[in-house]
């Protein structure tokens, strides 16, 4: 190979590495909220280098409302996820340097994803949780008409910023959409109460709307006291222990399932006020946005449970999913 072609190849590879590093630094600064000194320390580089990369990212228009640009490692993982799990779409975000920022990173990417996929005359079903709440910061209004947002789960008693009703309302407010809520507790006392609320109190209209969704966006919970479902006492500690014994590894909209994506035999699954799994599986675009090593088993089960065809997660989670799948 002529020397000039070799030099050109080396320059292209070097340019690619610089761009990937620049985008990673921009992500850490704008999404994770790390200071320049913290980034320099974590990446073992000088603060001047951090500043120069951030300024260059702005100059190259890689940073606008959100970060544009791809990291080769993430693109490769996205391809492998699509091939391995039969997904239509996969979005893999850079692994946060601090695990506490995982939900925020995935949430930011989810807001970007939703902004790109919204269109007129569309119905979007939404779940709840901290990850989805973080999606609001990059959910950009689009020039769309007749958009409908449907909350796919009842509310919780404790006032939290990630209450299902609150998230659906905020989503609808930002996108100027009509909002349809499930004005009932997320978990009721018996299957009979659930049936009565749906059939006699007008909630069947929301369930009928869920049958016409174009996209459903959900996060995944796992069976630990720190998971949102248990932090807000939606499910008691006694019930959590029972679910563990029944083989549950996670929940989607408070539907608890095992590693194989089968609903476990527990009364919670008969008392939850959320869109049924068979209805979720019929939605054309079924999006799961979650990550973290503690959620890998839950994600594997959830993807089977709803026959997920779009996944938004982090680098390390994607790698572990691929390993566990083997």
CATH of the domain at 110: 3.40.50.1360
How many CB atoms lie under 10 A from the CB of residue 204?
12
* 214 and 186 in a common domain: yes
Question: Is 192 in the same domain as 285?
Answer: yes
- The pTM (predicted TM-score) of the whole model is 0.82
E strand or H helix at 94, and its extent? none
Residues 158 and 237 in one domain: yes
Count of the separate structural domains present in the chain: 2
How confident is the model over 239-261, as pLDDT tens digits?
A: 999 999 999 999 999 999 999 99
Co-location of 303 and 212 in the same domain? yes
Same domain, yes or no, for 142 and 256?
Answer: yes
Rounded Cα–Cα distance for residues 307 and 302 (Å): 8
- Three-state SS for 55-70 is HHHHHCCCECCCECCC
User: Is the model more confident about 224 or about 64?
Assistant: 224
Structural domain for 31, as ranges: 3-59
Do residue 318 and residue 222 come from a single domain? yes
Task: Note whether 45 and 160 are same-domain residues.
Answer: no
Same domain as 180, residue 147:
yes
Same domain, 248 and 184: yes
Domain presence at residue 67: no
Convert the pLDDT of each residue in 113-143 to its tens digit. 999 999 999 999 999 888 998 898 888 877 8
Cβ neighbours of residue 295 closer than 8 Å, sequence gap 6 or more: 220, 222, 250, 317
Asked, for residue 299, whether it belongs to a domain, the answer is: yes
Among residues 15, 30, 59, the one where a domain terminates is 59
Q: What is the pLDDT of residue 220?
A: 96
Q: 116 in a domain, yes or no? A: yes
């Amino acid at each position: 190979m002529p020397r000039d072609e070799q030099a050109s190849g080396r320059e292209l590879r070097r340019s690619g590495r610089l761009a990937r590093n620049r985008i990673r630094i921009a992500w850490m600064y704008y999404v994770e909220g790390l200071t320049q000194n913290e980034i320099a320390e974590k990446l073992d580089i000088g603060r001047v280098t951090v500043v120069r990369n951030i300024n260059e990212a702005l100059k190259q228009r890689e940073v606008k409302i959100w970060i544009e640009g791809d990291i080769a490692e993430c693109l490769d993982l996205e391809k492998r996820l699509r091939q391995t799990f039969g997904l239509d779409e996969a979005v893999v975000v850079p692994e946060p340097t601090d695990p506490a920022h995982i939900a925020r990173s995935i949430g930011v990417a989810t807001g970007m994803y939703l902004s790109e996929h919204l269109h007129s005359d569309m119905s979007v079903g939404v779940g709840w949780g901290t990850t989805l709440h973080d999606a609001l910061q990059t959910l950009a209004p689009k020039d769309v008409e007749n958009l409908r947002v449907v909350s796919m789960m009842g509310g919780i008693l404790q006032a939290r910023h990630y209450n299902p009703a609150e998230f659906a309302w905020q989503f609808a407010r930002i996108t100027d959409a009509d909002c349809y809520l499930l004005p009932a507790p997320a978990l009721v006392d018996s299957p009979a109460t659930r049936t009565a609320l749906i059939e006699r109190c007008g909630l069947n209209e929301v369930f009928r709307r869920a049958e016409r969704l174009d996209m459903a966006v959900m996060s995944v919970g796992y069976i630990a006291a720190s998971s949102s479902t248990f932090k807000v006492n939606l499910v008691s500690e006694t019930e959590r222990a029972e679910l563990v014994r029944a083989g549950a590894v996670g929940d989607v909209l408070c539907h608890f399932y095992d590693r194989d994506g089968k609903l476990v035999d527990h009364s919670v699954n008969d008392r939850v006020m959320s869109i049924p799994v068979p209805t979720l599986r019929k939605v054309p675009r079924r999006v799961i946005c979650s990550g973290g090593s503690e959620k890998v088993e839950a994600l594997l089960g959830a993807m089977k449970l709803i026959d997920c065809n779009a996944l938004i997660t982090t680098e390390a989670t994607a790698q572990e999913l691929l390993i566990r799948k083997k």
